[in-house]
Amino acid sequence: MALGRFGDNIDAAVALIDRALALNPSSADGWYWSGWLRVFAGRADLAIEHFQASMRLNPRDGRGFHLAGIGTAHFINGRFAEAAAALRASLDELPSFTPTYRTLASCLTHMGRLDDARAVIERLRSLTPSVVPAIQLFRNPEHCELFLSGLGLAASPVEPASA
């Protein structure tokens, strides 16, 4: 996961997790981390399958992080309604997981629900002063733009109404 988050070669990180899963296909943690690596690499549908496999292998584990990943995968594929539903369910379980707020705010912005997105940003700011993440995890420039454009608009100051 460290290679996937901080390294330049996402394919190397994916190859390593694939090897780990070949050695231990019953690893719920392996499938979980593979899901996130697939999200970073832009392989959203495969990411969702991997998060679901992880949840099946360990149904007693909390689902909040998995739902955040599933919601993020739907988001980068432009399935905003599905993304918002999964991200909100994630926040029900993990109300302090700040990455979920960022993705949800961007998602709501792209859905045309700017007031809702700004409310999410307000909640995020109550948890952290950092609205825009310092590290961009998406390797696909279009996914970065999708995420940052929605997040930026949601975090921008509200224009006063003209008289």
Give the residue from 107, 129, 127 showing the smallest Cα distance to 116.
Answer: 107
Could you state, in order of their start, the residue ranges of all structural domains in the chain? Answer: 2-155
> Which phi and psi (to 5°) does residue 135 adopt?
-115, 130
* Least confident window among 12-16, 21-25, 122-126, 159-163: 159-163
What pLDDT was estimated at residue 145?
97
The 10s digit of each residue's pLDDT in 134-144 is: 888 899 999 99
- pLDDT value, residue 160: 59
Runs of H (alpha helix) within the chain? 2-6, 10-23, 28-41, 44-57, 64-76, 80-93, 98-110, 114-127, 141-155
Share of the chain above pLDDT 70, in %: 97
pLDDT in tens, 70-110: 999 999 999 999 999 999 999 999 999 999 999 999 999 99
pLDDT for the residue 162: 55
CA distance 85 to 69: 12
Domain 2-155: CATH class, spelled out: mainly alpha
